[in-house]
């Protein structure tokens, strides 16, 4: 009955009965502040419809839900287009700083701006919905290892979860290659659709006043676009030397497993050997590169499996970290409405995400939770979003967001840095706590394979898109640019010759899902800033990597106060409220990994590093 009522309400919305008129015939006397207040009230209703339709589409992929989601999204895009057209009347009007900020936030309230032309708007919505659906329903129907070619071919079809299991755990070069290239076949049909989506969204961005979609995305950081680009380069320069040391050490370890013929000295690492479908984080190959084997066992996954925790129990443990620092318990609606496991009867988008469905009244996550360390960490990340939603729920609708999008991504990960060996032992997730120098190096290596390995990947995704959005690179060269950037920044390469039809960027959810990615790069920098400040607030003394704020309400209050600001203040104000600083900086990250950096330099002496 509940599903039926959702669909009926969506149908009513689609025929125009769930939201008020957008108010295009604005009264002449409406002030800028009054305009913002009215638009926000209307946004709440239209956004609720769009979010509900998107949730149903993501958790129940069928042609019908695709149509409903596309139409609801079309109404949302139409609403924003009309609201932005009205807002132009206030471009030269004096108003308070807060009202001016609200106007700017309105312009940046979507990552996919639609043109005012209704036909183009409908086409954009349809393409965006179809691309997400293609990703969620993706299957590779090639032969698995050991298959003889006999029997029903459908039995060999594997979804992303099954292919990721191979990438995460196998050490068979050919099995890894099969899974890697198999998942990328699902992206090939996306390329012309993606190109058309970019074309239409660029037209939408131009109507708002931006040169292209990339310029619009880069305008959401309370600074000039060129200044922001320089800021990204400054941050990357701070962390690049540590990444290069890690890359050199890991490549040497992989040579010992697969041989120099497959992993050549001084050359990029084949992308399928790093324990992750996208080679974005490498902790799944920790056992291959563990500095001191057997010192401080860090096999969290095995202990999660031994405890037989189900998805709910894993979420409860993650929630316990947030409540231990004084943040509230998750509301009942979270447990009632979240999708925590993969349904067996339908296609869903398993990519983990957090949702604020009803102006702070209905928060939930969508994640196909498995009993692994990676999924356990991801739960903390998604709950970070949820607690951000809960803490800024009293802000005006237009300010319900992170101080910038990197803030939203950093919160949950900040707490994972407090999941020290001592904390993990207390939860029964590791057997012992090492206190030796060797144990410290093992601990930091495990963390670096996630945190440091990710940094160049986090930066290059949008570097690729910005060149696509600007027209510098055309559809025919999408894949060439992709691998050029992956080699330049990450020092990895495709393990085989890519076909002319390949669209390897589309094999990463955030590309067809049109989710900006620089936020993740920034979050991996800022989370260490947040963490260091919270450790100082908690009174921690000693090495930074030994700090845990678990159970410290003083740290939790400072964090909660910052979260409650939402997007109501420029991000330097929010940064200052938590850290006392007004600039993003990697100094805390460098301090955290200092012992490992020194160790890696010693290990890499005499090796041919770089690529």
> From the candidates 74, 245, 290, 409, which is the catalytic residue?
409
> From the candidates 90, 249, 520, 550, which is the catalytic residue?
520
β-strand 269-270 against 363-366: which pairing, if any?
unpaired
State how far the Cα of 401 lies from the Cα of 356, in Å rounded to an integer. 10
The verdict on whether 385 is a catalytic residue reads yes
> From the candidates 272, 351, 380, 408, which is the catalytic residue?
351
β partners of residue 158: 140
The verdict on whether 605 is a catalytic residue reads no
DSSP result, 375-387 = HHHHHHHHHHHHH
The verdict on whether 382 is a catalytic residue reads yes
Alpha helices, H only, 325-436:
332-337, 373-391, 405-416, 421-426
State how far the Cα of 271 lies from the Cα of 503, in Å rounded to an integer. 15
Among residues 550, 534, 540, which one has the least CA distance to residue 324? 550
Query: How many distinct helices (H) and strands (E) make up the chain?
Result: 24, 4
Longest dimension (CA), the chain: 76
- Judge residue 323's burial from the number of C-beta atoms within 10 Å of its C-beta, 0-12 exposed, 13-18 middle, 19 or more buried: middle
**Side-chain-side CA neighbours of residue 180 (13 Å):** 27
> From the candidates 380, 404, 510, 540, which is the catalytic residue?
510
β partners of residue 365: 354
The 3-class secondary structure across 140-180, one letter per residue, is ECCCCCCCCCCCCHHHHCECHHHHHHHHHHCCCHHHHHHHH
Query: From residue 192, how far is each of 199, 475, 476 by CA, in Å?
Result: 11, 8, 10
C-alpha dihedral, 46 to 48 to 49 to 55, nearest 10°: 140
Q: Residues 325, 423: contact at Cβ < 8 Å?
A: no
> From the candidates 175, 297, 352, 564, which is the catalytic residue?
352
> From the candidates 382, 507, 517, 586, which is the catalytic residue?
382
DSSP result, 8-71 = HHHHHHHTT-SS-----S--TT--HHHHHHHHHHHHHHHHHHHHHHHHHHHHS-SHHHHHHHHH
User: In the numeric block, which tokens belong to residue 92?
Assistant: 């030269």
> From the candidates 272, 380, 385, 404, which is the catalytic residue?
385
The verdict on whether 510 is a catalytic residue reads yes
Q: Which DSSP letter does residue 331 get?
A: P
The verdict on whether 231 is a catalytic residue reads no
The verdict on whether 261 is a catalytic residue reads no
Among residues 475, 571, 482, which one has the least CA distance to residue 519? 571
The verdict on whether 352 is a catalytic residue reads yes
State how far the Cα of 590 lies from the Cα of 502, in Å rounded to an integer. 38
Catalytic residue numbers read 351-352, 381-382, 385, 409, 510, 520
């Amino acid at each position: 009955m509940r599903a039926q009522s959702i669909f009926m309400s969506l149908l009513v919305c689609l025929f125009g009965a769930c939201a008020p008129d957008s108010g295009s015939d604005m009264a002449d006397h409406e002030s800028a502040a009054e305009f913002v207040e009215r638009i926000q009230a209307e946004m709440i209703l239209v956004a609720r419809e769009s979010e509900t339709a998107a949730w149903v589409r993501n958790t129940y992929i069928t042609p019908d839900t695709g149509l409903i989601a596309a139409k609801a999204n079309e109404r949302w895009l139409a609403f924003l287009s009309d609201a932005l057209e009205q807002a132009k009347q206030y471009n030269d009007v004096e108003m308070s700083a807060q009202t001016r900020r609200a106007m700017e936030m309105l312009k940046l309230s979507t990552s996919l701006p639609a043109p005012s032309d209704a036909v183009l708007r409908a086409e954009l919505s349809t393409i965006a919905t179809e691309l997400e659906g293609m990703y969620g329903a993706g299957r590779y129907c090639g032969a698995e290892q050991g298959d003889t070619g006999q029997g029903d071919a459908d039995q060999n079809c594997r979804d992303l979860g099954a292919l990721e299991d191979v990438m995460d755990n196998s050490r068979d070069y050919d099995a890894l290659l099969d899974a890697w290239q198999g998942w990328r076949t699902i992206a090939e049909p996306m390329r012309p659709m993606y190109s058309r989506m970019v074309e239409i969204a660029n037209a939408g961005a131009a109507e708002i006043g931006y040169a292209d979609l990339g310029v619009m995305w880069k305008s959401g950081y309370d600074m000039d676009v060129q200044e922001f680009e320089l800021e990204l380069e400054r941050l990357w320069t701070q962390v690049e030397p540590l990444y290069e040391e890690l890359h050199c050490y890991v490549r040497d370890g992989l040579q010992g497993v697969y041989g120099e013929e497959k992993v050549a000295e001084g050359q990029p690492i084949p992308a399928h050997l790093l324990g992750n479908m996208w080679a974005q984080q490498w902790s799944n190959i920790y056992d291959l590169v563990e500095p001191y084997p057997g010192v401080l066992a860090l096999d969290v996954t095995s202990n999660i499996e031994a405890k037989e925790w189900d998805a709910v129990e894993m979420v409860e443990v993650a929630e316990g970290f947030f409540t231990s620092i004084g943040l509230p318990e998750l509301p009942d609606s979270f447990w009632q409405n979240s999708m925590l496991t993969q349904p067996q009867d339908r296609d869903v988008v398993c990519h983990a995400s957090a949702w604020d469905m009803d102006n702070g009244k209905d928060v939930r996550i969508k994640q196909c939770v498995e009993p692994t360390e990676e999924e356990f960490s991801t739960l903390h990340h998604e709950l970070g979003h949820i607690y951000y939603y809960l803490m800024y729920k009293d802000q005006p609708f237009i300010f319900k967001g992170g101080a910038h999008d990197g803030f939203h991504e950093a919160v949950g990960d900040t707490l994972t840095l407090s999941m020290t060996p001592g904390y993990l032992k207390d939860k029964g997730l590791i057997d012992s706590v090492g206190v030796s120098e060797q144990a410290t190096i093992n601990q930091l290596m495990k963390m670096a394979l996630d945190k440091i390995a990710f940094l160049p990947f986090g930066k290059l995704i949008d570097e690729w898109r910005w060149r696509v959005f600007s027209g510098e690179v055309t559809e025919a060269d999408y894949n060439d640019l992709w691998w050029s950037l992956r080699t330049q920044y990450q020092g990895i390469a495709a393990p085989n010759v890519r076909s002319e039809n390949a669209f390897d960027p589309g094999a990463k959810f955030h590309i067809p899902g049109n989710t900006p990615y620089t936020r993740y790069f920034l979050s991996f920098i800022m989370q260490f800033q947040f963490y260091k400040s919270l450790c100082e607030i908690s009174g921690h003394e000693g090495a930074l990597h030994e700090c845990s704020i678990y159970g410290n309400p003083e740290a939790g209050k400072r964090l909660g106060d910052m979260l409650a600001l939402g997007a109501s203040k420029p991000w330097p104000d929010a940064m200052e409220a938590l850290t006392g600083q007004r600039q993003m900086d990697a100094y805390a990250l460098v301090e955290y990994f200092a012992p490992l950096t020194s160790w890696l330099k010693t290990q890499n002496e005499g090796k041919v590093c770089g690529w």
